[in-house]
Structure 1
Amino acid sequence: MKKNLFNKVTGLALVSALAMTGLTACSSTSAAGSNTANNAASSDTDNSESSSQGFRTLDEIKESGVINIGVFSDKSPFGYVDENGDYAGYDVYLAERLGQDLGVEINYVSTEAANRIEYLQTGKVDIILANFTVTEERAQEVDFALPYMNVALGVVSPEGAVVDSLDSIGADDQVIVISGTTAETYLTKNYPDIKLQKYDAYAEAKTAFENGTGVAWANDNTEVIAFSLENEGYVVGIPSLGDQDTIAPAVTKGNETLLAWLNDELVALGSENFFHAGYEATLLETYGADYEDTLVIEPSKN
């Protein structure tokens, strides 16, 4: 049923919309440490001090025995807290393996879209794994590792009033976006006359949309498609908007040792088809098998 609905909502447009890579999930205790939301860290937890450069090097992280990884806690299926109170989702699936291979415990830091860069720059996290789209502007402030996923923007709206073109949005209508996302940036730059209703957290945006705020919700197309599949009465009228981009882990600008290790790790994981396994473990139920090879990217040196 989900697969049929997915095809109905997105059809071939999704394939062209997503030059993407898939990943997500996990809800068990890490070999490197607990991923329980109550134990594994809020942004207030201070496990180790950053160096004078504002970040911890690879050796400093190893010496401390803990790596701080920023993930979403409310954005299923990419990063969320499950019914057992554990962090789950693709980002966590990847994070667990990083901690295991680095030989350290994981301190999960609940992150929102708007504070991903801030948390890196202030040393609250060592790595961001929070569905982070690579842009030229962001690359001036953080260092991105190799991408694991491609993504475009999409727009979801109620099935009784489907928005299939941004030109159809009225002067008094509002479109929901999450602060700090590429959707906000794209609409502000390219459609300055569209009124935006901004929220800091995914859960807040979801609740507002379900309660009738806004004629549409613009976000990563993977997320709006997942929303439409999981919530009856909504349709992705615009499955591809703007440029196609990539999603990648990020570290603090200038943290060369951690970035080099992370890139080598991603290549090693790609060689064993880790990200296809991650898709099957966490995204398959939402997006179906037909799109696995379209969504998944296995990082390589080339």
Structure 2
Amino acid sequence: MRNIRSFLAAGALCVALVAPSASAFANSYEDIIASGKIRVSTDLAIPPSGMLDADLKPIGSDVETAELLAKDWGLELEFVETTGATRILNLQTNKADIVISTLSVTPQRAEVIDFSTPYAALRSVIGAPAGLEIKDWEDLRGKTVTVTRGTTQDTELTAMASERGFNVARYDDDATMVTAAVSGQAQMVATSETLVNQIGKRNTTLAFEPKFVIRTFDLAIGVRKNEPELLEKLNDWVSENLKNGKLNAIYEKYHGLSLPAEMLK
């Protein structure tokens, strides 16, 4: 009996050693083209990058970017709805082929996924009602700043909160955070400049406005590690559509301003 158990244990170990890793199942560029479909992880609750119109049709700058990519590659587009916290997880669990969802390029994220050439930019700001005098980090002392869980703002502000003397409150998605700010539950927020302006438009009494810039992030398409061909094809596509102005036109349509000049060169 002991020999049989030893044999079975050894066999199981061999299977574990030769079993392909999760990355072996990753969809390469050829796999995506062959399937005729590309699955894009996109947050549809973060206007104006991703949202639903009155007919529940996805619209927004990230949505149109994904649509342009699918059209250029001759593919059917499938949106994999996500939140800020699950964008990368959708890649790692093979629920999506790529991420186009206001995904900022950071060193921490670059350890677990790869990024394409940046296709857009995001100004990360502290936003608050116009009546609040806030000019810099010192003015946040003793106050609470609301963020969306899993975002760059969550990571950055959490790391400095104790030193700077402010608190961080978290919501699971941008839509809930925006609702909290519009209703007055959130005193101030750390998010994109575009989203702060959206809050201001939805509650003109509070008149949320950007107070100061945290930093400007490049936004890129997220790809699983070890997919060099897919990454190369995406880089070529982004570069071409920055050069021909299509990506800038999409950004201007929804954000009301052009992409940074250095990105368009």
Is 1:185 equivalent to 2:151 in the alignment? no
Give the letter aligned to residue 229 of structure 2: T
**Larger RCO (alpha carbons 8 Å, 6+ apart):** 1
Match of 1:68 in 2: 39
Is 1:216 equivalent to 2:188 in the alignment? yes
Contact 1:81 1:88 in 2 (8 A): yes
* Deviation at residue 295 of structure 1 after TM alignment: 7.2
Give the letter aligned to residue 75 of structure 1: I
When structure 1 is superposed on structure 2, of 147-156 and 231-240 the one drifting more is: 231-240
Q: Which of 136, 139, 146 is equivalent to 1:168?
A: 139
Secondary structure in 1 aligned to 2:69?
helix
* Deviation at residue 220 of structure 1 after TM alignment: 2.0
Matches within 5 A, 1:47-58: 53-58=24-29
Q: Which of 50, 59, 63 is equivalent to 1:88?
A: 59
Match of 1:198 in 2: 170
Measured in 2, the distance between the counterparts of 1:268 and 1:71 equals 22
User: Kindly tell me: are residues 165 and 270 of structure 1, through their superposed partners in 2, closer, same or farther at Cα, counting changes over 3 Å?
Assistant: closer
Q: Over residues 128-153 of structure 1, what are the superposed CA-to-partner deviations in whole Å (9 max), with x where a residue is unaligned?
A: 01001100111111100001223332
Secondary structure in 2 aligned to 1:191?
helix
Match of 2:231 in 1: 259
Measured in 2, the distance between the counterparts of 1:105 and 1:71 equals 15
Is 1:292 equivalent to 2:262 in the alignment? no
Q: TM-score, normalised by structure 2?
A: 0.83
User: Kindly tell me: are residues 268 and 277 of structure 1, through their superposed partners in 2, closer, same or farther at Cα, counting changes over 3 Å?
Assistant: same
Secondary structure in 1 aligned to 2:101?
coil
* Deviation at residue 226 of structure 1 after TM alignment: 3.5
User: Kindly tell me: are residues 151 and 251 of structure 1, through their superposed partners in 2, closer, same or farther at Cα, counting changes over 3 Å?
Assistant: same
* Deviation at residue 114 of structure 1 after TM alignment: 0.6
Contact 1:155 1:216 in 2 (8 A): yes
Is 1:140 equivalent to 2:111 in the alignment? yes
Match of 2:79 in 1: 108
Measured in 2, the distance between the counterparts of 1:175 and 1:82 equals 29
Measured in 2, the distance between the counterparts of 1:101 and 1:257 equals 17
Measured in 2, the distance between the counterparts of 1:212 and 1:165 equals 21
Q: Over residues 179-233 of structure 1, what are the superposed CA-to-partner deviations in whole Å (9 max), with x where a residue is unaligned?
A: 1111111111223342111011111111122233232111122322333244312
Aligned Cα RMSD in Å?
2.2
User: Kindly tell me: are residues 215 and 163 of structure 1, through their superposed partners in 2, closer, same or farther at Cα, counting changes over 3 Å?
Assistant: farther
Give the letter aligned to residue 209 of structure 1: A
Alignment length, in residue pairs? 242
* Structure 2: gaps spanning 5 or more residues: 1-20
Measured in 2, the distance between the counterparts of 1:158 and 1:110 equals 31
* Deviation at residue 254 of structure 1 after TM alignment: 1.4
Q: Over residues 73-112 of structure 1, what are the superposed CA-to-partner deviations in whole Å (9 max), with x where a residue is unaligned?
A: 1111101111111110011111111111111101101111
Give the letter aligned to residue 74 of structure 2: G
Secondary structure in 2 aligned to 1:261?
helix
* Structure 1: gaps spanning 5 or more residues: 1-49
* Deviation at residue 170 of structure 1 after TM alignment: 4.6
Measured in 1, the distance between the counterparts of 2:198 and 2:23 equals 42
Give the letter aligned to residue 218 of structure 1: A
Measured in 2, the distance between the counterparts of 1:295 and 1:86 equals 32
* Deviation at residue 297 of structure 1 after TM alignment: 3.3
Measured in 2, the distance between the counterparts of 1:278 and 1:296 equals 17
Q: Over residues 269-289 of structure 1, what are the superposed CA-to-partner deviations in whole Å (9 max), with x where a residue is unaligned?
A: 122111222134333xxx3xx
Match of 1:16 in 2: none
Secondary structure in 1 aligned to 2:263?
coil
* Deviation at residue 55 of structure 1 after TM alignment: 1.6
Secondary structure in 2 aligned to 1:114?
coil
* Deviation at residue 168 of structure 1 after TM alignment: 2.3
Match of 1:273 in 2: 245
Contact 2:127 2:211 in 1 (8 A): yes
Measured in 2, the distance between the counterparts of 1:179 and 1:202 equals 9
Measured in 1, the distance between the counterparts of 2:202 and 2:260 equals 21
Contact 2:196 2:210 in 1 (8 A): no
Q: When you count helix as a share of all residues, which structure comes out higher?
A: 2
Q: TM-score, normalised by structure 1?
A: 0.74
